[in-house]
Chains A and B, each alone.
Chain A
Amino acid sequence: MEINKELIQKIAQNARLNLTEEEIKEFLPQLKEILEAFSTLDKLNTAKTKPSFQPIEIKNIYQDDISEPSLPQDIALSNTKHKKNGFFQGPKAL
């Protein structure tokens, strides 16, 4: 797969980033170099290897079904200026 401007723009859109032309121009050769280096992992045969999503095995953690106080509404809203009637306020949905 070729790493080109169109691919970077598509990825940026997925990631909710508006990259400028200068950023794309700067990132393109850097990303090519980095991905080429990362692709050396292909040399390793991992056909029968399980992935390690954690470094130490974690088993299912359970907790008792007991309700506890949650964050008060005013505290939850304390770090935003976009709020109305006790709700977070966002831009238009469509």
Chain B
Amino acid sequence: MDFSKDQKHFKMLAKDFIKKVKDKEISVIKNTEKILKEAKNINKEYSYFNFISEEYALKQAQEIEKSIKQNKAQGSLLGLPISVKDCICTQSIPSSSGSKILENYIPPFNATVIQKCLQEGAIIIGKTSQDEFGFGGFSTNSAFEIPKNPFDKTRATGGSSGGSAGFTQATSLPHISIAESTGGSIVNPSSFCGVYGLCPTYGLISRYGLIDYANSLDKIGPMAKNIEDIELMLNTIKGQDPKDSTSLNQELKKSKIKKIAIIKESLGVDKQIKDLILEKLDSLKIKYNLISLPITQRYGIQTYYLIAMSEASTNLAKLAGLTHGSQLHLKGTFNEYFSEVRSKFLGKEAKRRIILGTFARMSGFRNAYYLKAMKVRTLIINEYKKAFKKYDLLVSPTMPILPPKFSEIEKLTPLQNYMMDILTVGPNLAGLPHSNIPAGFINKLPVGILFIADHLCENNLIEIGKKLK
């Protein structure tokens, strides 16, 4: 499929599209029909959506067009189509988080980020495919159709926000996706699909309405074709939320980029990837140094997975076939019924992580695993904070490899899968904002460059993204 058609709109910034909508140069209904048709066509081959909300989107478009005709329409996202990762609750639109245990779950409420987007006039076109509950780095752990890389259908999109990244690349029309990251699930697929992705400071964007993976690690963030769209969506959805007690009441800091450092341990990746990243950095004409983060690079994976699995095993305890989600005929005792439902509808990776997380929290093992990981997390946070006393941005490749073939992924052990997150778990553990910027191509496959900033320094990421265009 040729994703480069309709070049006129391909490069249109969301803000320019929205201005044309407000000036009545673009019909919201016609544009929505166009992107829905495109989404359905792309989905037949690439499976970026678990659900395309056609009826809902057209109804929204009609209401917006009516208010535009009455000169009452306003909103920073007016008429803009958005896609939403399936783990973010959208009222009256199915939200499964990629799992059979939540198949056909229809949330009775909107997540705060969704409510904000709707208030600004955005149009939800569908829910994007992902690894079940975010458990994976290739979107191959989805209980439904697996999304395919837009540049090569035999390869993965990355994960867990694979559908969001894939469609963001594939669509020819202005669009932004709202994705989610726990250990790298925004920047990983952004890198593999050649799009921009930004994971914000922990707590900057409300998690209310996010079907959780790990509460101290989850962040919602945007994916887009350009940095300006990222900036637009970030500023729309950030802000303290009384419904999320971990959300921050602090402003973003002004940008300041004077000193940059490359993470030394990250340069052990494939030589072609390393060379491309260095070439991209050289084009900035900003002097950069080398910095070593030995604790993060050597112990980040273990620390991340122990914390994430422990928290996930607790969060998934609510899925038991009683109040919502997939259900069976009531028989046996509570424990027998719960066990039967969970065993039938949870996927293999979900079960593996529940077992590991439950073990790590168990009496007799908690100190050695769960608490130990929490203490090493402190060491990792301190290592980054020390680095940010000297530097404004840290840099590395986003992923250690090019997007792999599905046949290669099948041969990986679970531990080898987890090791793919080596470059992204660090900023996620420390709650630091980080972004993927497309750096170029190797063998026609996209490569991304990862920038990490200090807490609340998202404007550094935006500025560097604009400089690197």
A residues within 8 Å of B by Cβ? 1, 7-8, 11-12, 14-19, 23, 27, 30-31, 33-35, 37-42, 44, 46, 49-56, 58, 61, 63, 71, 75-76, 78-82, 88-94
B333 contacts A17, C-beta separation under 8 Å: no
Residues of chain A within 8 A of B201, CB atoms compared: 56
Complexed CA–CA distance, A78 and B415 (Å): 40
Measured between beta carbons, the chain A residues less than 8 angstroms from B430 are 55
Docked-complex contact A17 and B108, CB < 8 angstroms? no
Encoded as 1 (CB less than 8 Å from any A CB) or 0, chain B from 317 to 348 comes to: 10010111101001111111111101100101
A82 to chain B, nearest CB (A): 6
Shortest C-beta distance, A25 to chain B (Å), equals 13
Q: Which of chain B's residues have a CB closer than 8 A to the CB of A93?
A: 333-334
Chain A residues in 8 Å Cβ range of B368: 39, 42
A55/B202 in contact, CB under 8 A = yes
- Bound CA–CA A56/B432 (angstroms): 9
For residue B102, give the distance in angstroms from its CB to the closest CB of chain A. 10
A80 close to B327 (CB less than 8 A):
yes
Alpha-carbon separation in the docked complex, A78 to B324 (Å): 8
Q: Taking beta carbons and an 8 Å cutoff, which residues of B are in contact with A?
A: 105-106, 108-109, 201-203, 216-217, 242, 245-246, 248, 295, 299, 301-303, 305-306, 313, 317, 320, 322-325, 327, 330-340, 342-343, 346, 348, 351-352, 354-356, 358-359, 362, 364-365, 368-369, 371-379, 381, 413-415, 418, 429-432, 455
Given A15-B355, A63-B242, A91-B331, 14 extra CB contacts under 8 A: A11-B362, A12-B355, A17-B343, A30-B414, A40-B299, A44-B299, A54-B246, A56-B202, A71-B108, A76-B323, A79-B324, A88-B323, A90-B334, A90-B337
Interfacial chain A residues near B348, Cβ < 8 Å: 23
Question: Majority SS of interface residues in chain A?
Answer: loop
Q: A33 and B415: CB pair below 8 A?
A: yes
Query: What is the CA–CA distance of A38 and B357 in the complex, to the nearest angstrom?
Result: 12
> Is the beta-carbon distance between A80 and B343 smaller than 8 angstroms?
no
Give the nearest-CB partner of B301 in chain A: A37
By DSSP majority rule, is chain B's interface helix, strand, loop, or mixed? Answer: helix
Q: Is the CB of A80 within 8 A of B377?
A: no
Q: How far is the CA of A25 from the CA of B431 in the complex (A)?
A: 37
Chain B residues closer than 8 Å to A81, beta-carbon distance? 327
How far is B438's CA from A81's CA once the two chains are assembled, in angstroms?
47
Across the interface, B362 reaches (CB within 8 A) one of A14, A40, A56, namely A14
B302: chain A residues at CB < 8 Å are 37-38, 40-41
- Least Cβ distance of B104 to chain A in Å? 9
Tell me whether B359 and A11 are in contact (CB under 8 A): yes
Which 10 pairs between the two chains have the least Cβ-Cβ distance? A55-B431, A51-B374, A79-B324, A46-B375, A18-B343, A91-B337, A49-B375, A61-B245, A52-B378, A15-B358
Q: Contact between A79 and B339 (Cβ–Cβ < 8 Å)? A: no
Indicate whether A31 sits within 8 Å of B356 (C-beta atoms), given known contacts A41-B372, A80-B327, A82-B322: yes
Find out whether the CB atom of A11 lies under 8 angstroms from the CB atom of B381.
no
A23 CA to B346 CA, complexed, in Å: 13
In the complex, are the beta carbons of A89 and B330 less than 8 A apart? Answer: yes
Is the CB–CB distance between A19 and B216 below 8 Å?
no
Q: Is the CB of B378 within 8 A of A91?
A: no
Min distance, Cβ B16 to any Cβ of chain A, angstroms = 35
Do residues A79 and B323 form an inter-chain contact, with CB atoms below 8 A? yes
Contact between chains at B313 and A15 (CB < 8 Å): yes
